[in-house]
Amino acid sequence: MARIVMKFGGTSVADIARIRNVARHVKREVDCGHEVAVVVSAMAGKTNELVAWTREASPMHDAREYDAVVASGEQVTAGLLAITLQSMGVNARSWLGWQIPIRTDNSHGAARIQEIDGSFLIKRFGEGQVAVVAGFQGLAPDNRISTLGRGGSDTSAVAIAAAVSADRCDIYTDVDGVYTTDPRMEPKARRLDRISFEEMLEMASLGSKVLQVRSVELAMVHKVRTFVRSSFVEPDAPGMDDFLNPPGTLICDEDEIVEQQVVTGIAYAKDEAQISLRRVADRPGVAAGIFGPLAEAGINVDMIVQNISEDGKFTDMTFTIPSGDVAKALVVLEKVRDTIGYDAIQHEEGMSKVSVIGIGMRSHAGVAATAFEALSEKGINIRAITTSEIKISILIDGPYTELAVRTLHSVYGLDKS
């Protein structure tokens, strides 16, 4: 007998028929004798509808009331799944985030989990009950409902798995695992059997939409073995009840990966924008004067390139941000122009960031050179480059995204089984 947390996303619970299918997946694990807790998202499209209603009611709405509205989507799903499980003879009960409780900070709309007392759910296990928990929500210090931001149900599931010392956290979605790259971009993409926490964190933060970034961070910190699985595979299909090796991708510590590839995957993010500040005063504190105000405005800065100052007086500073933040960033930078001291500001939208990821890069030289040469042969110009121990990110013009992804996927042999 094992302890499992199962999480189902919005497409998996989009209607009653799919909720019945989810219930069959849950019943399979219960029939195997496992202790099970389930975390659910709102039905597909419901959160968008609720968000639109709050904005229609008032564009400048109270974040606490926003949370009260949008958290209702998960409440509906949890109740419907509990009813369906009960109709199948499974002892199930739905619970909201504040009932566990999942305690968060006070950042309504984008709260972070502070604490979960697992004893409440462990007691449910002892009673032979399946706890169906509404994801994406918790209880803030002001004693009101809080929400965790988009994709927050993944974070709820991993945090609950850590709190109850689960043997595994299964994230069910509309794909059957983590692929070497987006299969819609590269048909030769392969599903990975295993991927390390660090690699998955890079994939998630660099454009892969499979898991929410904070959920991967939590899984890595608490060593929660996490499976990405498809809810659209028949619950009684061969191997679905295999506890050790079910169909899907295991996200785990790199020590569990016996044979490490140099490159594990290629991620990409579109709609990047490049901003350049020309002839910035080259003196201590200027970088802080630029990026501090941007951070305070909630603008996420990614790649940063500073040219070497020839005369020791002036330099150029180039960085990337999401295209949707350009207008806000330009306003912020104009306000601090006199403080920073720059001659001109230029911006260009429609960029893409393509990233090569793999823990094997730590011990292999020439990985970056291979990428640069391959892109050069395809006539793809590189605008900026950033690196870490296990990733290389390259900024290119947006129209070349698909060609770059396919080229890099092939040059590193990821299209070969």
What's the pLDDT tens digit per position in 184-228? 899 999 999 999 999 999 988 887 778 888 999 999 999 999 999
Binding site per annotation, positions for ATP = 7-10, 173-174, 179, 184, 209-210
**What is the mean pLDDT of the segment spanning 381-390?**
90
pTM: 0.86
Q: How far apart are CA 258 and CA 138, in angstroms?
A: 38
pLDDT at residue 208, rounded to an integer: 74
pLDDT at residue 51, rounded to an integer: 93
- Identify residue 311 by its one-letter amino acid code: D
What's the pLDDT tens digit per position in 45-92? 999 999 999 999 998 889 999 999 999 999 999 999 999 999 999 999
pLDDT band at 414 (very low <50, low <70, confident <90, very high): very high
Secondary structure element (H or E) that encloses residue 393, with its range: strand 391-397
CA distances from 183 to 10, 170, 191, 239, 316 (A): 21, 22, 9, 23, 38
pLDDT at residue 417, rounded to an integer: 63
Over 70: is that where the pLDDT of 359 sits? yes
Residue 387 phi, psi dihedral angles, 5° rounding: -135, 160
Strands 194-196 and 249-252: parallel
CA distances from 261 to 251, 255, 281, 414, 416 (A): 15, 13, 44, 9, 12
Over its C-alpha atoms, the chain yields an Rg (Å, rounded) of: 23
Task: Cis check for the bond before 247: say yes or no (omega within 30 of 0).
Answer: no
**What is the mean pLDDT of the segment spanning 145-164?**
94
Over 80: is that where the pLDDT of 112 sits? yes
What's the pLDDT tens digit per position in 236-263? 888 888 888 889 999 999 888 876 788 9
Q: By mean pLDDT, which of 128-137, 207-216, 314-323 is the weakest?
A: 207-216
Which domains does the chain possess?
Answer: 3-254 (3.40.1160.10), 265-411 (3.30.2130.10)
pLDDT at residue 259, rounded to an integer: 67
Binding site per annotation, positions = 7-10, 47, 74, 173-174, 179, 184, 209-210
Helices and strands in the chain, H and E counts = 13, 18
Binding site per annotation, positions for substrate = 47, 74
The Cβ-side half-sphere exposure at 271, using a 13 Å CA radius, reads 6
What 3-state DSSP class applies to 201? helix
pLDDT at residue 410, rounded to an integer: 95
- CA angle 359–113–244, rounded 5-degree value: 50
Mean pLDDT for all residues in the chain: 92
pLDDT at residue 11, rounded to an integer: 94
pLDDT at residue 361, rounded to an integer: 87
